[in-house]
Chain A
Amino acid sequence: MEKAKNIYTDEKLLKSLLADKDVTIEEDALEHEMVINMGPQHPATHGVLRLVLRLDGETVVKVVPELGYLHRGYEKMAENMSYYEYIPHTDRLDYTATMCNNVAYVLAVEKLAGIEAPKRAQYIRMIIAELSRIAAHMVAIGTYAMDVGAVTMVMWTFKEREKIQNVFDRIAGARFTTSYTRIGGVASDMDDEAIAMTKKFLDELEPALVDMDKLLLGNRIFIDRLEGVGVLKKEDAINYGVTGPNLRATGVEYDVRRAKPYLFYNEIDFKIPTYTEGDALSRYFIRGDEVKESAKILRQCLEKMPGGEVMANDPKRVLPHKDEIYTKMEELIYDFMIVNFGINPPVGDVYFSAENPKGELGFYIVSNGSGQPWKLKIHSPSFCNLQVLPLICKGQMVSDVIAIIGSLDPVMGEADK
């Protein structure tokens, strides 16, 4: 501990590390303890999460997560750019599910400005959001299995994710940083080939999921490693503000798509999978179930998707068509005004949240009537989910800490903003 004091000069961190003394295995605990620094450069901390662990042998006495290594000040940056300009930055929040972020942000702005996108655009948004959810869960499941040691799984899940990214490439013209949605619609229409690609992907997804289940769940080691590990209680989950799959794994049936329906989720038939155990294994199962539900939603969306425009016809606030800009005077002026001065939503504030793969992603926007938001606050699910880490890691082993981080599935781009 003396040596630890020299190394970890950060007083606040050290204080909180030493504060907790109620988990001890040995009589004279301090004789056996070690302070170890995990991350920000560590193969299993999903980006740049830093954990300082106080260990008694292999048992974790205390964990102090330190965040902020990927802080880029996105909330402050929003205050200096127009609502349109901010769309690409939402890609960089949860970079495993870019489309979900695009949709959530755009819906928040539309709610503030009172714009409604055409029905086809809304359906396309649902499709891309669900595709993106599958893509994100594929990363989550794959890296989770990799953390536990099953390295092959990550390649299998990335194979499926690859197909989704090809669909995105077709729809949005970019595989990863899509920036596809626009205020009042989406950037381009989803053509027949994209629809065919999505359908093909869905047909191939089911056998792939069966294969993945065979690889992992037919395996005693995987079950033994995760069962009863990192149990999160229902009350704790609610108190800490945990959302998304991590919350539903504890038995709370809260899904923003059902609780506060947006887009056309109220017209779609889907189940909200819940588990009651709240352990690392149930957090694995729930992601698998959500992928299946998303596939179900996607099939319904593709069936119900109406034809028509994909951008609202609202000249002063929604970007006009490019061919109209080049041929008509009025549209050229509107385009110039929107691009240079923004859409000027009315004075007021709005909070909108959408169900993201990681949990409830909320945007709180305060407008003072100008083209730029006066304040934009992001409620990022990864940040909230990470708060329970010290709680559920206590008394577990070092290997379990890795499994628990994997099961919580934080994305640091979102947690640090």
Chain B
Amino acid sequence: MYEILNNIFGNQAVAWIIAAALPLFVFILPFALFAVWLERKVSAHMQDRLGPMRVGWHGVLQTIADILKLIQKEDIIPAEADKKLFNLAPILVFAGSYAAFAAIPFSSKYIGSNAEVGIFYIIAVSSFVVAGILMGGWASNNKYALLGAMRSAAQIVSYEIPSAIVILTMVMLTGTLSLDKFSQIQTAYFWNWFILGGPGDGLTKFLLIPFMIIGFTILYISTLAEVNRTPFDIPEAESELVAGYHTEYSGMKFAMFFLAEYGNMFAVSAVITLLFFGGYQSPFGYLGNSFNIPWLVPIEQVFWFTFKGIIFVFVQMWLRWTLPRLRVDQLMHVCWKFLIPYSFVNLIIVGIITLFR
């Protein structure tokens, strides 16, 4: 992406800025606006309500109105708060979720950075979020915020282990860390997706299917915990900790936590899509290829990638409005006693199968 822009503008600084700002304005902000609206609509229809209806068609502009309100709000910093950390925390959290988008390939033509270690980079950079949350909770000088931050740190750090093990399994299977290559491997039709054993045929493909499903389930559960969604939303458990780590935040700083949450939701869904569901590949060929219109292919790819991602985001919302929340000890119990051992066993079995591929 950067190279293309550099060729167009002939200026490195401009190319950098545009390459960095593009995912934000083209994707994250519109997606967050859409996801907030979708969440309200999903919850409303699950609860026999209508949800936002007044602003725009079926309330589509509601989130924009909310953001406008949040921008105008007074920026309150508690007197006892640690000001520097308090101001830094939302930026760090947002940066963590935003930076993850740099390595996500939306199509074969649009990748922020086609790094060879894409998936490794995403794991690393999304850990920023923990630091930000901990910082916000500590700097707020509020007991509820501190409790929420502590819970969050414990939770995210624990759940990174099973998700990292599952990602390791996939890396072992494919032999690459590049997310673009992940997508390229799972090309053509949906039976080449890793959830259905990956490309190729023969016995190993069918042997892999159950372990891929287990791997996907573990990854999905642990990413739910990493983005603090129900049933793992204990860091911001509304009925227990008021609002958890962002209790003291208001106005745009709160909105940054909010945007980061929705950005993160898509980021983890994107990782799942890339690893198991063919990345940006269409499940059944491209219109562009069949009608011989080459420029249509990347657009279709963006569509499929976003579509798959939004499906997983929708499932996250569905779960949120259905499931109760776990208790802290039960949360750790699920992670350390179920997810980590299972993902280890999965790693070993997939490793053995890979040997015979």
Interface-forming stretch among B117-125, B203-211, B327-335? B327-335
A150-B237 Cα distance, complex, nearest whole Å: 11
Check if A397 sits within 8 Å of B328, measured CB to CB. yes
- The answer, yes or no, to whether A271 is at the interface (CB within 8 Å) is no
A402-B324 Cα distance, complex, nearest whole Å: 13
Give chain A's interface secondary structure class. Answer: helix
- The answer, yes or no, to whether A156 is at the interface (CB within 8 Å) is yes
Check if A152 sits within 8 Å of B329, measured CB to CB. no
A219-B319 Cα distance, complex, nearest whole Å: 12
Check if A402 sits within 8 Å of B322, measured CB to CB. no
Check if B321 sits within 8 Å of A225, measured CB to CB. no
Shortest distance in angstroms between A207's beta carbon and chain B's nearest beta carbon?
Answer: 14
Interface-forming stretch among A36-44, A68-76, A306-314? A36-44
Residue on B nearest A229 in the bound complex, by CB: B327
- The answer, yes or no, to whether B49 is at the interface (CB within 8 Å) is yes
* With A225-B326, A225-B330: A149-B237 Cβ-Cβ less than 8 Å: yes
Tell me which residues across on chain B come within 8 A of A36, comparing CB atoms. Answer: 143-144, 147
Which of A43, A151, A156, A221 lies in contact with B242, CB distance below 8 A? A43
Size band of the interface chain A makes with B: 20 to 34
Interface digits, A206-217 against B, CB 8 Å rule (1 contact, 0 not)? 000000000110
Check if B324 sits within 8 Å of A398, measured CB to CB. no
A31-B47 Cα distance, complex, nearest whole Å: 45
Interface-forming stretch among A81-89, A110-118, A140-148, A376-384? A140-148
* With A36-B143, A149-B230, A155-B48: A225-B240 Cβ-Cβ less than 8 Å: no
A400-B326 Cα distance, complex, nearest whole Å: 11
* With A147-B239, A402-B240: A156-B326 Cβ-Cβ less than 8 Å: no
Using a CB-CB cutoff of 8 Å, which residues 219-246 of chain A contact chain B? 219, 221-222, 224-225
Shortest distance in angstroms between A227's beta carbon and chain B's nearest beta carbon?
Answer: 11
A37-B46 Cα distance, complex, nearest whole Å: 34
Check if B47 sits within 8 Å of A58, measured CB to CB. no
- The answer, yes or no, to whether B116 is at the interface (CB within 8 Å) is no
A145-B147 Cα distance, complex, nearest whole Å: 22
* With A148-B325, A152-B321: A399-B47 Cβ-Cβ less than 8 Å: no
Tell me which residues across on chain B come within 8 A of A215, comparing CB atoms. Answer: 322
Check if A42 sits within 8 Å of B322, measured CB to CB. no
- The answer, yes or no, to whether B309 is at the interface (CB within 8 Å) is no
Which of A58, A156, A221, A400 lies in contact with B324, CB distance below 8 A? A221
- The answer, yes or no, to whether A34 is at the interface (CB within 8 Å) is yes
Check if A152 sits within 8 Å of B47, measured CB to CB. yes
Shortest distance in angstroms between A7's beta carbon and chain B's nearest beta carbon?
Answer: 10
- The answer, yes or no, to whether A159 is at the interface (CB within 8 Å) is yes
Tell me which residues across on chain A come within 8 A of B48, comparing CB atoms. Answer: 155-156, 159
Tell me which residues across on chain B come within 8 A of A151, comparing CB atoms. Answer: 43, 47, 321
* With A149-B230, A225-B327: A44-B322 Cβ-Cβ less than 8 Å: no
Shortest distance in angstroms between A83's beta carbon and chain B's nearest beta carbon?
Answer: 41
A399-B327 Cα distance, complex, nearest whole Å: 6
Interface digits, A185-198 against B, CB 8 Å rule (1 contact, 0 not)? 00000000000000
A398-B47 Cα distance, complex, nearest whole Å: 28
Which of B147, B240, B322, B330 lies in contact with A152, CB distance below 8 A? B322
Check if B327 sits within 8 Å of A400, measured CB to CB. yes
Check if B322 sits within 8 Å of A146, measured CB to CB. no
Check if A149 sits within 8 Å of B239, measured CB to CB. yes
Which of B47, B231, B323 lies in contact with A156, CB distance below 8 A? B47
* With A42-B242, A215-B322, A398-B147: A149-B231 Cβ-Cβ less than 8 Å: yes
Tell me which residues across on chain A come within 8 A of B233, comparing CB atoms. Answer: 149
Contacts A/B (CB < 8 Å), 27 sampled: A34-B143, A36-B143, A42-B242, A43-B239, A44-B240, A58-B147, A58-B328, A148-B239, A149-B233, A149-B323, A150-B322, A151-B321, A152-B47, A152-B321, A155-B49, A156-B47, A159-B48, A219-B323, A219-B324, A221-B231, A221-B323, A221-B326, A222-B324, A225-B327, A225-B330, A398-B240, A399-B234
* Contacts A149-B324, A155-B47, A398-B241 known; 9 new A-B pairs at CB < 8 A: A43-B242, A146-B239, A148-B239, A150-B322, A156-B48, A221-B330, A397-B328, A398-B147, A400-B327
